[in-house]
Structure 1
Amino acid sequence: MSIAPQRVGRRERNKQEKLDRITAAASELFAERGVDEVTTQEIADKADIGTGTLFLYAKNKGELLLLVQNSTYADALAEGKAAAETLTDPLEAVMAIIGAVVACNRKQIDNGRTYLREMVFGDPTEPHHREALSLTVQTEEAVAAVLQRGHGIDAEEAATLAHVVSAVMFISMAATVNIGRTVDEILNEIRGQLQVLLPR
């Protein structure tokens, strides 16, 4: 006996529609002017909702940025994992994964650096923050999986290496000295560090 799919109720549809409007409004405004130059009132106005309603979905601007950036991070991670599937060299496969993430983070440099700060110092009880932390775990899992493919590295060692790779990537993206550097320059810096770490 098959079970008919349950229809989403009107209330849930309305909530999702508001969330979509908030995400679109915040995404557009943050991309145009940067997170620091946009007010929550402007986001609420653009999404055609009240500020009280806005704060039901994200309690502050940092959470709004996490909401927006998490979606693009997830897409970048999926892109990087797909590219890594065809590569046999561990360094190249790892660079394919993190290269997509770095490029995503650097689309708007100030937003990307604020996103990293929110991930580290934000409230882990907030849902968008939890999702951001989950994405970092998924990134490490993807790197660990690549390192275990035919390179004689066990799961524990691969997880440790993936954690170090993640730290190198995040520090390179967040470092003040790298603000003016291009994506390629940052990736070259990361590659140089990972060459001494990963198996050949």
Structure 2
Amino acid sequence: MTTASSPVGRRERNKQEKLDRIMDAARELFAQHGVDEVTTQQIAEKADIGAGTLFLYAKTKGELLLLVQNDAYAKALDQGREDAALEAGAVEAVLAITSPIVACNRAQIDNGRTYLREMLFGDPTEPARREALEIVARTEEAVATTLQRTAGLEDVRAATTARIISAAMYVSMASSLNVEAGVDQIIDEIAQQIRVLLAPATDGGAF
């Protein structure tokens, strides 16, 4: 049994090793030059694979960007959850979740905006796009859970508020008005919207 399963294990390891090289190459080139200035051939050469092999893992640069950024966004969300657990106030806790995501998005502004475009308008059958949307859903879930803990919102209200906050965050990051905006400016804009949105709840008034 062990002998029969070994080739499958090797194949899977080889596939994962190639994917890791592709992602490392794409991550480095995208960070240095921006996604628009990098070709798939350059990525293949840096990953030391053939262009045909690259297309087995991703058909376009947009898909490659999703693969690379999904990993970064997922780590940013994990960090945000940890930071939020240390905050007692609703606004501060929600900002703790969103701030690492904003920082991830603005690490390379053109890449961040392209990522959002691919996430919203890319191929709906593409696995990396589905993963990106799942990260958005997990972000909303984290915000909703945090609002329940810090602002005492009931389930439906917390989920609805979390979706609005998530939408506000992504609009702020994607807006053409914020092309030159840095991390702090984007976070301040999101913070203002969160305070307005949560003011009725945190002040004891009607939502």
Q: Normalised by the size of structure 1, how large is the TM-score?
A: 0.95
Letter in 1 for 2:153: I
Structure 1 gaps of 5+ residues are: 1-5
Greater CA drift, 101-110 or 150-159: 150-159
Greater CA drift, 7-16 or 163-172: 7-16
SS for the counterpart of 1:123 is: coil
Determine the structure 2 residue equivalent to 1:121.
121
Letter in 2 for 1:165: I
| Identity fraction in percent | 63
SS for the counterpart of 1:124 is: coil
Structure 2 gaps of 5+ residues are: 203-207
Determine the structure 1 residue equivalent to 2:165.
165
Determine the structure 2 residue equivalent to 1:174.
174
SS for the counterpart of 1:181 is: coil
Determine the structure 2 residue equivalent to 1:3.
none
CA gap of 1:109–1:150, structure 2 versus 1, over 3 A, is: closer
CA distance in 2, matches of 1:15, 1:152: 47
Determine the structure 1 residue equivalent to 2:26.
26
CA distance in 2, matches of 1:30, 1:10: 30
Aligned length: 195
Determine the structure 2 residue equivalent to 1:10.
10
Letter in 1 for 2:163: H
Letter in 1 for 2:63: E
Deviation at 1:190, TM superposition (A): 0.9
CA distance in 2, matches of 1:151, 1:27: 38
Runs of 4+ in 1 over 3 A off after TM superposition: none
Deviation at 1:63, TM superposition (A): 0.3
CA distance in 2, matches of 1:151, 1:49: 52
Q: Normalised by the size of structure 2, how large is the TM-score?
A: 0.92
CA distance in 1, matches of 2:140, 2:35: 27
Deviation at 1:150, TM superposition (A): 5.1
Determine the structure 2 residue equivalent to 1:142.
142
Deviation at 1:151, TM superposition (A): 2.8
Determine the structure 1 residue equivalent to 2:60.
60
Letter in 2 for 1:107: A
Q: Deviations over 1:74-132 (max 9, x none)?
A: 11100111000011111100000001100010000000000000000011211111110
* Correspondence 1:50 to 2:47: no
Q: Deviations over 1:35-90 (max 9, x none)?
A: 00000010011111111110110111000000000011011100111000011111
* Correspondence 1:38 to 2:38: yes
CA distance in 1, matches of 2:156, 2:129: 26
CA distance in 2, matches of 1:187, 1:67: 25
Letter in 1 for 2:180: G
CA distance in 2, matches of 1:129, 1:29: 21
Letter in 2 for 1:174: A
Which structure shows the bigger proportion of residues in helix conformation? 2
SS for the counterpart of 1:148 is: helix
Letter in 1 for 2:125: T
CA gap of 1:166–1:179, structure 2 versus 1, over 3 A, is: same
